[in-house]
Amino acid sequence: FDFNRAIARTPGETVIHGLRAGDQPDPSFEGVLREHAAYLAALRSAGVEVTLLPALPEFPDSMFVEDPALVFPEGAILLRPGAPSREHEAAHLAPELNSHFAEVLDLPEGHADGGDVLLTPGGRVFIGLSARTDAAGAAALIRQLDRLGYKGEIAHTPPGTLHLKTASSLIDEETILATEALAASGVFNGFRVLTVPAGEEGGANVLRANAHLLTGNRYPRTLEMLDRFGAKLIPLEVEQISRIDAGLTCMSLRW
Ligand code: CIR
């Protein structure tokens, strides 16, 4: 979670048609823009230099740049997201990633979304199998991670959860915040695991950025727990992006 560079993408007007698993209403475009702008400001206040790419209205979900790619100090991986409407988003990130990284790998087979990939200190990387990330994609990703010096391992995303990181986040060197359902699977044994209170499952997606912790602002008991934990909190409005199943980690690529 120590990084000083990030890539994000401006939302296009089509974001209001973004994918969602439930029957939530469309977000408002102005609301998404406002939440996105506050998110970028929070990253910048955490000491991060953000490159903002132009909107790609032909891809409604393209502001969620962490699904079609992964970045590490050692290199980047262009992925193949599992939703058909998102499958070709990676090509639009390639030029930017090539300008920053000497090594830009791809996903030779299968499908994988970056939202299913949780990097932990020491180079252990959890890859959640989900409706978006299949076994072939996860296996191919493990091979590519190995080339960059990381050790991938398979986890199972709880049913009804979009991505592994919808239900879990790294908050410091040894602590993972997770939903009860994911923590109970035992996947994070060996880490300290904080579970979000029942009814605040959406609060499990937070973004540690250097000394700051970006969180949703509508999970009061989670905020109280994290506050006691000693992180410097930046609570952000997530009402509109939540309508299209998005969290805080997916709106940037960070290294
Ligand atoms: C999608 O369903 O793909 C988008 N509407 C939301 C993606 C959010 N990505 C993430 O949590 N990693």
Residue 231: per-residue pLDDT? 74
Query: Is the minimum distance from the CB of 157 to ligand 1 under 6 angstroms?
Result: no
Q: Which of 245, 251, 254 to mutate to test the pocket of ligand 1 (most atoms within 8 A of CB)?
A: 245
Q: Full-prediction pTM beyond 0.90?
A: yes
CA 138 to ligand 1 centroid distance, Å: 18
Residue 103: per-residue pLDDT? 98
> Tens of pLDDT along the chain (255 residues)?
999 999 999 999 999 999 999 999 999 999 999 999 999 999 999 999 999 999 999 999 999 999 999 999 999 999 999 999 999 999 999 999 999 999 999 999 999 999 999 999 999 999 999 999 999 999 999 999 999 999 999 999 988 899 999 999 999 999 999 999 999 999 999 999 999 999 999 999 999 999 999 999 999 999 999 998 777 999 999 999 999 999 999 999 999
Query: Do the beta carbons of residue 80 and residue 88 sit within 8 Å?
Result: no
Q: Which of 63, 65, 207, 244 to mutate to test the pocket of ligand 1 (most atoms within 8 A of CB)?
A: 244
CA 247 to ligand 1 centroid distance, Å: 7
Specify burial of residue 117 (Cβ count, 10 A radius: 0-12, 13-18, 19+). Answer: buried
Question: Residue 51 corresponds to which amino acid?
Answer: T
Residue 228: per-residue pLDDT? 81
Core vs surface per residue 194-219: b (16+ CB within 10 A) or e: bbbeeebbbbbbbbbbeebbbbbebb
Query: Is the minimum distance from the CB of 115 to ligand 1 under 6 angstroms?
Result: yes
Residue 183: per-residue pLDDT? 96
* CA-based torsion, 253, 66, 137, 193: positive or negative: positive
Residue 63: per-residue pLDDT? 98
Q: Would you state the structure tokens that stand for residue 107, as one six-digit string? A: 């996903």
Q: Would you state the structure tokens that stand for residue 21, as one six-digit string? A: 């698993």
Q: Which of 80, 119, 161, 250 to mutate to test the pocket of ligand 1 (most atoms within 8 A of CB)?
A: 250
